[in-house]
Chains A and B, each alone.
Chain A
Amino acid sequence: MLEHAYLIPVYPLLAFVIIIFATRWNEKLSSGISIAAISIGFIHSIFVMIAVIGRHGVPFELSVPFIEHPLITLETGIFIDPLTAVMLLVVTIVSGCVQIYSLGYMHGDPRWSRYFSYLSLFTFSMLGLVVANNFFMIFIFWELVGLTSYLLIGFWFEKDSASDAGKKAFITTRIGDLGFIIGILLLATYAGTLNYQEVFTKVADGVIPVGVLTMIGIFIFCGAVGKSAQFPLHVWLPDAMEGPTPVSALIHAATMVAAGVYLVARSMTLFVGSAEAAMTVAVIGLITSFMAASIALVQNDIKRVLAYSTVSQLGYMIMALGLYGFDVAKDPHSHSVGYFAGTFHLMTHAFFKALLFLGAGSVIHAVHTNDVQEMGGLSKKMKITSLTFFIASLSISGIFPLSGFWSKDEIVAATLGHPVFMFFTLLIAFMTAFYMFRLCFLTFTGKPRNQERFDHAHESPKTMTMPLMFLAFLSVFAGWVGMPWLSHGFSSFVYSGELQHHGPNYIVMLVSTIVAVSGIGLAYTVYFKKKISADVLMEKFKPLYTLLLNKYYIDEIYDKVIIKPLLAFTRMMWWSDANIIDGLVNFVGWFTIKWADAKMWFDKYIVDGAVNGAGAVCMAASWLFKYVQNGSVQFYTLVIITSAVGVIIYRVTPEGFLYYFIGVVVVALARFLMKMNRPEEGNVETEPEG
């Protein structure tokens, strides 16, 4: 099945093409095709996973040269190692769940078929990104997921906020992508190839100078910063929540934003080669994670809380990967678990975050609002949704033995040896537990704060609850493959067979559990028991609260520092364009017309005058001289002979020639005058006889 793994992205691509060109008008068929394609992809991915396990970490590669050039060969191909296999499964599972869920959520939407075709296109791009075997291909698919993300965020484009959010997401990620492509070009220049394995071999051999390697690493990380919504390009992700909730779950929580993490994990060799680049990655991850988590504490929009939670968790993964790169760069025999922690958290997070979003979607579907202040007490009406949402919240908070516990535990373990990182990681874990349970308690428990909305609430249809239950199952059990007691678990799997096993660290487990439980406990006290009033806390920390509620004013800063000056600059350019450039052009036009007028006058009166004058002179002259041309051969002969005689006479006696000439002229004039007096004589054409 491995040889045909390239088919996995092709199934959804086919679905996209079929829906767009053939079955758009049949809504049921369109969604059916889309779901069938992803199901086939899922089954295929399982077989690929089995095959990859059987290879014990030896990567499989299949490539076809695409453009061959003496300097560089661009190829298209697939590269399948354990990381790819895991990503394939995650993408197909989440995508499948989301598509089934959308059957309920998007019910009655006028652009239903288009929605499913976009989902298929996205799935194709994401799977292509995952199986790509070189940086050139990953960049193409990278842009494709960006495009589909744009299309789906702006899916309800009648809303201005949605189309604005789509544009914001696209442009913001483009900034990161610029760095990414610079990194790729640098890599192509210095390594002479873009194929993963060749590049990594060259990097390991030290072909590329360390300074350049640092630049390449940071530039490539720029791509990840854009796509994974890391600080300072994280601003688009919360706005992206304007898209349909299943899209948020699929693209902006579980898969596309994980592409950045995947990229960093995939290019880990580059970061291992440069400790500075790796440290940059880790620091950016930590800043992002802490900032997003603190913002999530106070937001009231259920989806925005989840969005900031996503940003925070992605920062977690990035930080773990960065720390791994740093540790290994410093000490090749380091026992850092960062790589495993990052990729492991990538997988578990995909499941429970997708579940959280789908749960939030289910709630929004029921109460038609995003504001948690208008919810409350919904667990009575929405049993399955609230139960699964609680499971996911426990999982993300890191409660034993849910999947989030295992991966979060590993991330904490990855910060061992970096006290600052460890402190903030635990703090973020605490905040995560707090804001998740704040959300849970506000939404599902207590008294309904808006009775009207509460009365209309109802449990969602089966197409929506089934994926919830399936993802809840995964949120509980998916992490078990990475239990630290397993000697051949996820850990040794992603390390490509190299056994980097290290026993469980019970102290870390204990501490992270205490942190999580205390976070939940605080949320419980404030929002369930209401022993401490949230309003009092809000008053007490008013400046901090305002700062967090306004998301550190980052959007406003961008507006002031970048957008406003840019607009002013472009207006200035517009002004100079409208006045100076256009003025110049118009002057040139005006001058050309005037100059042409002058030339036309010259042409008309001087040139044409000369030509016509010459003609008139000729006409006048010919009035006289035309009589020479009388058509009579004998007259011509006479002229010839007279002239010949004249020449002879001139040769003999030049003086006599004068008399001869005068005589000839006199005779000729006399004859001419006689002829004039007897017109028509001899000039009349004879009448044809008979």
Chain B
Amino acid sequence: MMLQYLALAAILFAIGIFGVLTRRNAIGILMSLELMFNAVNINLVTFNKFIVPDNLTGQIFAIFVIVIAAAEAVVGLAIVLLLYRNWQGIDIGNINIMKW
């Protein structure tokens, strides 16, 4: 059964990476990031359940990740807001101030 769970997580993670790399919308990138977090959470819970079912380490870790992800989302959205104010848009294709 473990394989299906891990496959699900892998698929989710791949979708997340694809989103991060290809979305031009900053909000979309943030959402893809959430997908990747959740893929990791699934992995954690899966390993907990099938390898060390007697303790809750993986579960607790997943909850931590969710909490931190919420905080990260706040920061990310704040950045997006500032991007919008400064570039009058959130298309990250236009944001290239770190270019050479």
Contact = CB atoms under 8 A, between A and B. Distances in A.
Interface in B75-100: 87-89, 91-100
Contact of B92 (A622, A626, A634): A634
Contacts, number: 46
B17 A641 contact: yes
A637 B95 CA distance: 15
B65 to A, nearest CB: 19
B18 to A, nearest CB: 10
Interface string A628-644: 01111110011001000
Contacts of B22: 634
A167 B43 CA distance: 112
B15 to A, nearest CB: 14
A460 B22 CA distance: 129
Nearest to B29: A634
Contact of B20 (A626, A637, A685): A637
Contacts of A641: 17, 21
A683 interface: yes
A620 to B, nearest CB: 15
B12 to A, nearest CB: 15
A682 interface: yes
Contact of B88 (A627, A631, A688): A688
A686 B94 contact: yes
Given A637-B20, A641-B21, A686-B89, A630 B94 contact: no
Given A638-B21, A686-B87, A633 B94 contact: no
B88 A629 contact: no
Nearest to B24: A634
Contacts of A690: 88
B94 A631 contact: no
Nearest to A683: B96
A634 to B, nearest CB: 6
B21 A637 contact: yes
A630 B98 CA distance: 7
Q: Chain A contact residues (Cβ within 8 angstroms of B): what range?
A: 10 to 19
Contacts of A629: 98-100
A688 B97 CA distance: 15
A535 interface: no
Contacts of B97: 631
B94 A634 contact: no
Contacts of A205: none
Interface in B25-58: 29
A634 B98 contact: no
Given A686-B89, A688-B88, A689-B89, A634 B96 contact: no
Contacts of B88: 686, 688-690
A626 B98 CA distance: 12
B87 A631 contact: no
A630 B100 CA distance: 6
Q: Select the residue from B29, B94, B95, B96 with max chain A CB neighbours within 10 A.
A: B96
Contacts of B29: 634
A682 B92 CA distance: 10
Contacts of B92: 632-634
Contact of A630 (B17, B21, B96): B96
A631 B17 contact: no
A183 to B, nearest CB: 89
Given A686-B87, A686-B91, A689-B88, A632 B96 contact: yes
Contact of B96 (A622, A631, A637, A689): A631
Contact of B21 (A622, A626, A634): A634
Interface in A634-690: 634, 637-638, 641, 682-683, 685-686, 688-690
A683 B97 CA distance: 11
A682 B24 CA distance: 11
B83 to A, nearest CB: 11
A690 B24 CA distance: 21
B99 A631 contact: yes
A682 B91 CA distance: 11
A682 B99 CA distance: 13
Nearest to A625: B100
Contacts of B17: 641
Contacts of B96: 630-632, 683, 685
A682 B89 contact: no
A363 B36 CA distance: 131
Contacts of B95: 631, 633
Contact of A631 (B20, B21, B98): B98
Contacts of B93: 632, 682
A632 B20 CA distance: 12
Contacts of A685: 94, 96
Nearest to A630: B99
A153 to B, nearest CB: 90
Contacts of A683: 96, 99
A637 B94 CA distance: 17
A89 to B, nearest CB: 104
A634 B91 CA distance: 12
Contacts of A631: 95-100
B28 to A, nearest CB: 11
Nearest to B94: A686
Contacts of A637: 20-21
Contacts of A689: 88-89
A689 B17 CA distance: 31
Interface of A: 622, 626-627, 629-634, 637-638, 641, 682-683, 685-686, 688-690
19 contacts: A622-B100, A626-B100, A629-B100, A630-B96, A630-B99, A630-B100, A631-B96, A631-B99, A632-B99, A633-B92, A634-B20, A634-B21, A634-B92, A682-B93, A685-B96, A686-B87, A688-B88, A689-B88, A689-B89
Closest 10 CB pairs of A and B: A631-B99, A631-B96, A631-B98, A626-B100, A629-B100, A686-B94, A689-B88, A688-B88, A638-B21, A682-B93
Given A634-B20, A634-B21, A686-B87, 11 more contacts: A627-B100, A629-B98, A629-B99, A630-B99, A631-B98, A632-B93, A634-B92, A637-B20, A683-B96, A686-B88, A689-B89
